[in-house]
Copies of this chain bind each other. A is one copy, B any other.
Amino acid sequence: MSNISVPPPKCLQKPLLVPHRQMFGPGPSNVPPRILEAGANPVIGHMHPETFEIMSDIKSGIQYMFQTQNNMTFAVSGTGHTAMECAIFNTVEPGESMLSAVNGMWGERAAEMAERIGARVNTIVAPPGGFFTNAAIEQALSKYRPVLFFLAHGESSTGVLHPLDGIGQLCHKYNCLFLVDSVASIGGVPVYMDQQGIDILYTGSQKVLNAPPGTAPISFSDRACQKIFNRTSKPVSFFLDLSWLANYWGCDGKPSRMYHHTGPVTAFYSLRESLAVLAEEGLENSWERHNEVAEYFHSGLESMGLKLFVKEKKARLPTVTTIVAPHGYDWKEITTYLMKTHNLEISGGLGPSVGLVLRVGLMGYNSTKANVDMVLAALKDALKHCHKSKV
């Protein structure tokens, strides 16, 4: 017989202690007690009728949030990256052409994911803070003839809100599917999946929805399904295979549901609750609130002498604001000071925006003028106390 050689770790004898914190970075955002409590309901089976009803409610809530009639609408059991892989793995076959719009972190990651599965990947590139004209997009579609075009609606690494109108129609003109990452934007900014001709749209639970991270709403148009269900090869991932997920979520019209994977039921509870909160407020009210709060925040920043990183006003993401890293300061000292002194998270840049910006997220529940006042006061305090070089 073998024997225990690794003893029980002492660190687990200490109780779990989690601080309360103002989560004003680009996500996760604060989770209201109502949603946390929903997630603490008892676990039931991933195939129980009550769970299927909760999943059905989630589907309706996502259809509302996304403004879509797509039947193929559900939540991936994972974070935003899982949804991104779900979209790309299912739509692109090896050797097919994929086009990614890179104006920050997310376009880079989408391109990398497609490369890994053997797609021919092309990119159009804009500098951090920039975005693409429809003419530039059409030119690339015409040149590369991709089967899939990726665009981040809310580029949370740079604070850019990308215009969406007309792009879906352009994609369809070139027989291309339009994939939109709305992780950092949806719920806080108008998106009309069907009217805007978006073929695949996804988000995460932990941004405007204010649920804990761990589920990712996604929807596929009929056009997308048409391509996916006529693939010649199986997607690389069994876990993310749309035909299995469609069955698990009751989207394939089949009378019985097969066991695919064990859905994270408690995460479904909190996701459902977060969608209920959004439905109660109403999308238009939420959009208006985010817009008002962002304008209030942006003018507050400018009157402090700070500069917004995104030049064009209409291209500023109201959920995640990028501030030009204050001249003469070490951005890292500012974020560390705010965390230490104010128990408040704001972030530096990400990927191509590292060193260039500070990022402040005010999403969902967190998007209030009172929170803006708190952030502005904390920033003023930080700029007073952090070291400023004389150069």
A residues lining the B interface (CB < 8 Å) = 2, 4-9, 11-13, 16-21, 23, 25, 27-31, 36-46, 48, 50, 54, 56-57, 60-61, 63-64, 67-69, 77-82, 85, 109, 112-113, 115-117, 190, 192, 194-196, 204, 206, 212-214, 234-239, 259-267, 269, 272-273, 275-276, 279-280, 282-284, 345, 350
Contact = CB atoms under 8 A, between A and B. Distances in A.
Given A212-B267, A264-B79, A272-B12, A236 B116 contact: yes
A102 to B, nearest CB: 15
Given A36-B40, A39-B39, A40-B39, A9 B279 contact: yes
A220 to B, nearest CB: 16
B212 A266 contact: yes
A121 to B, nearest CB: 13
B64 A7 contact: yes
A21 B42 contact: yes
A50 B20 CA distance: 11
Contacts of A196: 2
Nearest to A192: B2
Given A37-B40, A283-B4, A64 B9 contact: yes
Given A19-B44, A42-B30, A67-B6, A12 B238 contact: no
A39 to B, nearest CB: 6
Q: Which of A38, A81, A259 has the most CB of B within 10 A?
A: A81
Given A262-B204, A264-B212, A38 B12 contact: no
Given A18-B42, A36-B40, A262 B213 contact: yes
Given A11-B57, A18-B50, 5 more contacts: A5-B194, A7-B64, A19-B42, A28-B45, A36-B266
